[in-house]
Structure 1
Amino acid sequence: MSWIGECKLTTEIKGCKGEIDKEYGCRECSEGYYLINKECSKCKENCTRCSIKNECNSCEDEYILKNKECIYYLDINKCKEAKKNKCSKCSFWYGTNEEGNECNKEVI
């Protein structure tokens, strides 16, 4: 049952992890979904874990987590390689910041 009291077929319910409670609905969601009003909704594109739709906590491979969004690593200025949602390698003369989501010019 949805949060507004309408019944749904269990085949219509997507992203539910485990058994679907006939009265309550989903209690937990699969990876890539978040729980809202007894239902699971899909996270934003390239996001593997989120607490609400527009706040990502983890990204797909080759994506960097920055300001709760997943950004393709080549779209981060000077980033050349990504591992574990962080830029792991920057262009020559550049290094990653503490969060691993930017490449900054390094003084040598």
Structure 2
Amino acid sequence: MTTYYFVAASERFLTEEEPLEEVLKERRRNYKENGKEIDFWLVRQPAFLNAEEMKTVCDQLPQPAAAVVSTDSNFITFMKLRLEFVLDGCFEAPSAEIPDAIATAD
């Protein structure tokens, strides 16, 4: 199993109100320059939030929701500090409730 870390908020907040596209674009550029594989994804209406273990988080999120998911906990900590008005957490996948965490990643 892989541990995924995430920040989540309303899709409108992440994609329209915050300069998220700029942050992710810069990170992709940095990864390309350093020969590093992408380990983060923007996921719109993430299915993993429907898992029972995510109920508390899901109940607090305006819908439709979106999330930035990564295997890098430091990046998600940075995103939490950068974006402020987001919820964060982690989960392991694949599991019985979360078969493929990033199947719908952008």
What band does the TM-score fall into relative to the shorter chain? under 0.3
> Quick one: higher RCO (CA 8 Å, sep 6+), 1 or 2?
2
| Higher Cα radius of gyration | 1
Give the structure with the higher percent helix: 2
